[in-house]
Amino acid sequence: MSAEKHDMPRGNVGIHDFAVISNEVVAPGINRLEISSHVSWGLQPGQFMNFEVPGDKTHILRIPLSFSSSDLVNSHVVIYYAVVGEGTERLSKMQPGDVSTVVGPCGNGWRLPEKGCKRALLVAGGIGFPPVAAAAGMLARAHIGFDVAIGVRNITGLVQSQIEELRKFERIDTDIVVATDDGSIGIHGFASHAAEQLLEKHTYDCVYACGPQVMLASIARLSEDHGLPCQVSMESMMGCGFGACGACNIPLKAGGYASCCMDGPVFDAEEVAW
Ligand SMILES: Cc1cc2nc3c(=O)[nH]c(=O)nc-3n(C[C@H](O)[C@H](O)[C@H](O)COP(=O)(O)OP(=O)(O)OC[C@H]3O[C@@H](n4cnc5c(N)ncnc54)[C@H](O)[C@@H]3O)c2cc1C
Ligand code: FES
């Protein structure tokens, strides 16, 4: 991935203090975290932040997290995270008023579609939802219509407050299709099945997707079959978070690698060697 083609302005990047405003369980194993921090200044949709979570001095790696919305007036940022391991478990214990630091804004986020784009298809799988909500905000501000395909494991994974986050940006014609692995709500299937249903119903000019790698690969194929440009936000495992360790390398179709933390996390799907 060429840096010239994709690099976003890196104004305000650095280590910022943050304070927890709220940190609530919104579904089993999923929290909504709202912070107050100057990291919000210059944070672009699709970029991420690297959190230092206090409580264990042996845990030196930060935790990369995306955001779903940011509010420049109050310097607030809203994050949704799954509690999956030791770091996110400690994060879930942070109380309103607790403070720590965050590095950001990190990486390259979503780009606006080509001029003339009337409607975009957004696809979110599981906890890939936050950057997709941020993409919805970006498109709404640019007066571009969108529909959303959501894939979650079961009804308990469907986080109502995330849907509400999305509804802030939706237009009267926004179509949201939910798919669950077990059919407990919406259609029985994956996010890609929800996307296929929307593709049959509407005409799109581009696709934005975030979710597990296997879902992104299938959305990349689906977009190619429909001749649609597709941007994907990749969530690879990270080490340093600033391009030094190579832990987050993404293989490219043209050969070689790009770093998820510096070149990504958003890539053109056609550039990735799936
Ligand atoms: C750019 C980026 C943005 C992200 N945004 C979000 C977000 O908005 N919300 C959210 O919930 N998570 C997000 N993640 C994933 C999040 O960073 C990890 O879940 C977190 O670092 C796990 O830390 P831990 O110490 O709790 O777990 P660990 O103890 O480090 O790991 C617990 C388990 O989670 C797996 N894991 C760790 N990191 C990842 C990863 N990046 N992808 C897949 N599996 C992983 C490990 O293999 C292990 O099985 C993002 C990751 C990246 C790279
Ligand atoms: S995390 Fe070290 S290079 Fe990306």
Same domain, 12 and 146: no
Answer whether residue 163 shows pLDDT above 90.
no
Tell me, what amino acid is at 261? C
Ligand 1 nearest-atom number relative to CA 65: 5
Q: Are residues 222 and 249 in the same domain?
A: yes
Q: Which of 73, 106, 139 is the last residue of a domain?
A: 106
Answer for the pair 38, 16: CB distance below 8 angstroms, yes or no. yes
First to last CA, the chain: 15
Same domain, 70 and 171: no
204-261 tens-digit pLDDT: 999 999 999 999 999 999 999 999 999 999 989 999 999 999 999 999 999 999 999 9
Residue 246: CATH number of its domain:
3.40.50.80
Bridge partners of residue 257, in order along the sequence: 251
Asked if residue 32 is part of any domain, the answer here is yes
> Which residue's C-alpha comes closest to atom 13 of ligand 1?
65
Q: Is the peptide bond before 251 cis (omega within 30 degrees of 0)?
A: no
In this structure, the answer to whether residues 31 and 93 fall within a common structural domain is yes
Spatial neighbors of 123 by CB under 8 A, at least 6 apart, are 132, 148, 149, 151, 191, 192, 194, 195, 207, 208, 209, 210, 211, 215, 219
| % residues pLDDT > 90 (the chain) | 77
Residues 99 and 125 in one domain: no
CATH assignment at residue 28: 2.40.30.10
104-124 pLDDT per residue, tens: 999 999 999 988 889 999 999
Distance CA 98, CA 105 (A): 21
Q: What was the pLDDT predicted at 86?
A: 94
**Ligand that lies nearest to the alpha carbon of residue 233, given by its number in the listed order:** 1
Query: Is the CB–ligand 1 distance for residue 67 below 6 Å?
Result: no
Ligand 1 in reach of 66 Cβ (< 6 A): yes
- Supply the residue whose CA is at minimum distance from atom 47 of ligand 1: 237
Mark which of 106, 136, 157 sits at the end of a domain.
Answer: 106
For residue 158, the number of C-alpha atoms closer than 13 Å in the C-beta half-sphere is 19
In the structure encoding, which two tokens stand for residue 71, read together?
């509010």
Residue 231 contacts residue 221 (beta carbons within 8 Å):
no
Residue 145's domain comprises 119-271
